[in-house]
């Protein structure tokens, strides 16, 4: 009896592979944001450990949005050419303590690549050891943290929520990783964010 | 082992795995503002949002060629060759009672480039505690929902931007932009 079930399972698995492999493939592509030079605007409640800017930017002070972070940035390809712009909109949990906890929050990316289309991405991110390893020591010493700290901030995998143009109907996943090289007490970061996108396409 | 025992064992293992996965999945506590909705023809759910310009504009930038003030004035412009037809806006979003309930980005291409159409734009509306809506606009004034998260994950519908109550004044848009979201009822 068990052999019969095993045979059925193998057959179903085989059919699944045969049915999907010729028509589905994964296209991988990374986009990069160099911080701070690609930053256009960043705002939040005014109480986060990041510098809001440019000077004069309104803060997200209202009760319903005071856990939000909104960023506009340019982005480049792997060759270093600026090829698009985007927004990163985040919502943190109430009373998040980045200094002492591994905080998890929701992030939505919208990436516009003129001539190609738009990608909408959603993920959960986490701060990992950013607080204890970078922010905490910087605040304590008052001196800029300088180093080479690399982290995958995506919890698990982020998802492609939709798209337009070349990316219309896109499905797949992505990973955000960060290379931090400098952090100043006033909240200025220097480093690179990479969004590694893996799209499943039919051919 | 009988088939029945195998099934029970499988069920037990599956339940344990599910429990562990759920226990390890991080949850986020976020206060939310209850939506103000109305029911329209055919049972569609109508929700009206307002962006009160210029007060609700957080940031606005473009190449510098458009007759619109960059906000804040020192914000970097999109002068790179690939971006010079782009426009990016961050704004706060109010419900129809005037309460700030979320924030948005509008990323648009304002002129024709290869492969793009005039007026193409993308809206991302974030409502803390509820979720996010991703919308794509192919023609001026109307954007279609292409995705969502949270309680808006399965949303289908469109957003109509009504700018009748606005006017351009000294390079700034002044007045209330109404964003009317019409969603299909949940299946």
Q: Write the pLDDT tens digit of every residue in B128-164.
A: 999 999 999 987 779 999 999 999 999 999 999 998 8
- Among candidates A69, A71, A68, A67, which has minimal Cα distance to A35? A71
CA A7/CA B5 separation, integer angstroms: 19
**% pLDDT > 70, chain B:** 79
A81 contacts in B (CB within 8 Å)? Answer: 82
A141 CA: distance to closest CA in chain B (Å): 31
Chain B nearest CA to A38, separation (Å): 9
Closest CA to A90 of B179, B74, B149: B149
**Does the pLDDT of residue B29 top 70, yes or no?**
no
Show residues of chain A in contact with B150, CB under 8 Å.
106
pLDDT of residue A88: 98
Residue whose pair of structure tokens reads 């002492």 in the numeric block = A100
Q: Do A91 and B128 touch (CB under 8 A)?
A: yes
Taking CB atoms and an 8 Å cut-off, how many pairs form between chains A and B? 181
Query: How far does the CA of residue A37 sit from the closest CA of chain B (Å)?
Result: 10
CA distance B41 to chain A (A): 28
Chain A residues lying within 8 Å of B94, measured CB to CB = none
CB-based contacts of A35: which residues, under 8 Å, 6+ apart? A189, A190, A191, A192, A193
Per-residue confidence (pLDDT) for residue A19, from 0 to 100 = 44
Contact B149 A106 (CB under 8 A): yes
The confidence score (pLDDT) of residue B106 equals: 96
Partner-chain contact A60 B103, CB within 8 Å: yes
pLDDT at site B53: 94
Q: What stretches in chain A show pLDDT beneath 50?
A: 13-20
Res. B123: pLDDT tops 90: yes
What is the per-residue pLDDT for B35?
85
Across the interface, whether the CB atoms of A81 and B76 are under 8 A apart is answered: no
Q: Show the tokens assigned to B136.
A: 């794509």
Going from the C-alpha of B123 to that of each of A200, B12, B144, the distances in angstroms are 24, 45, 9
Please answer yes or no on whether A162 and B26 come within 8 Å at the CB atom.
no
pLDDT score, position A7 = 57
* Residue in B with minimal Cα distance to A1: B3
Between chains, do A164 and B128 touch, taking CB under 8 Å as contact? Answer: no
pLDDT the model gives residue A15? 43
What contacts B4, CB < 8 A, 6 or more positions away? none
> In which band, very low, low, confident or very high, does the pLDDT at B33 lie, cut at 50, 70 and 90?
confident
State how far the Cα of B93 lies from the Cα of A21, in Å rounded to an integer: 44
Q: Rounded CA gap, B178 and A63, in Å?
A: 22
Closest CA to A69 of A194, A167, A191, A189: A189
Q: Which residues contact B60 (CB under 8 A, 6 or more apart)?
A: B68, B69, B70, B71, B75, B87, B88, B89, B90
Chain B interface test: which of A34, A56, A72 (most B C-beta within 10 Å): A72
pLDDT at B168: 78
d(CA B101, CA B129): 10
* DSSP β-bridge partners for residue B67: none
User: Which residues of chain A neighbour B6 with C-beta distances below 8 Å?
Assistant: 2
């Amino acid at each position: 009896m068990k052999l019969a079930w095993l045979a059925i399972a193998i057959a179903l698995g085989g059919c699944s592979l045969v049915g999907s492999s010729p028509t589905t493939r994964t296209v991988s592509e990374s986009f990069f944001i160099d911080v701070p030079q690609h930053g256009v605007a960043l705002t939040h409640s005014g109480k986060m450990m990041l510098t809001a800017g440019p000077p004069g930017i309104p803060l997200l002070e209202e009760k319903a949005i005071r856990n939000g972070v909104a960023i506009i940035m340019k982005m480049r390809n792997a060759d270093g050419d600026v090829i698009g712009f985007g927004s990163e909109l985040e919502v943190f949990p109430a009373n998040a303590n980045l200094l002492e906890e591994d905080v998890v929050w929701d992030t939505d990316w919208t990436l516009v690549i003129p001539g190609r289309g738009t990608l909408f991405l959603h993920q959960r991110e986490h701060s990992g050891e950013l607080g204890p390893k970078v922010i905490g020591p910087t605040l304590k010493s008052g001196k800029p943290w300088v180093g080479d700290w690399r982290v995958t901030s995506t919890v698990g995998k982020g998802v492609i929520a939709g798209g337009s143009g070349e990316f219309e109907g896109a499905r797949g996943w992505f990973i955000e990783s960060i290379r931090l090289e400098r952090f100043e007490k006033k909240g200025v970061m220097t480093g690179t964010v990479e969004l590694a996108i893996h799209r499943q396409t039919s051919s | 082992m009988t088939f029945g025992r195998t099934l029970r064992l499988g069920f037990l293992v599956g339940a344990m795995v599910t429990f562990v996965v759920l226990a390890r999945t991080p949850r986020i506590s976020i206060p939310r503002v209850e939506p103000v909705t109305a029911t329209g023809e055919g049972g569609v759910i109508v929700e009206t949002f307002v962006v009160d310009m210029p007060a609700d504009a957080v940031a606005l930038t473009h190449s510098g060629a458009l007759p619109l003030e960059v906000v804040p004035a020192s914000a970097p412009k999109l002068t790179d060759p690939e971006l010079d037809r782009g426009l990016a806006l961050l704004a706060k979003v109010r419900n129809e009672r005037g309460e700030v309930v979320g924030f948005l980005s509008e990323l648009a291409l304002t002129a024709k480039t290869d492969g793009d159409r005039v007026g193409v734009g993308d809206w991302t509306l974030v409502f803390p505690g509820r979720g996010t809506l991703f919308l794509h606009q192919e023609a001026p004034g109307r954007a279609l929902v292409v995705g969502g998260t949270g309680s808006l994950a399965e949303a289908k519908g469109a957003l109509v931007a009504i700018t009748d109550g606005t006017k351009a004044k000294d390079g700034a848009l002044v007045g209330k932009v109404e964003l009317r979201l019409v969603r299909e009822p949940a299946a």
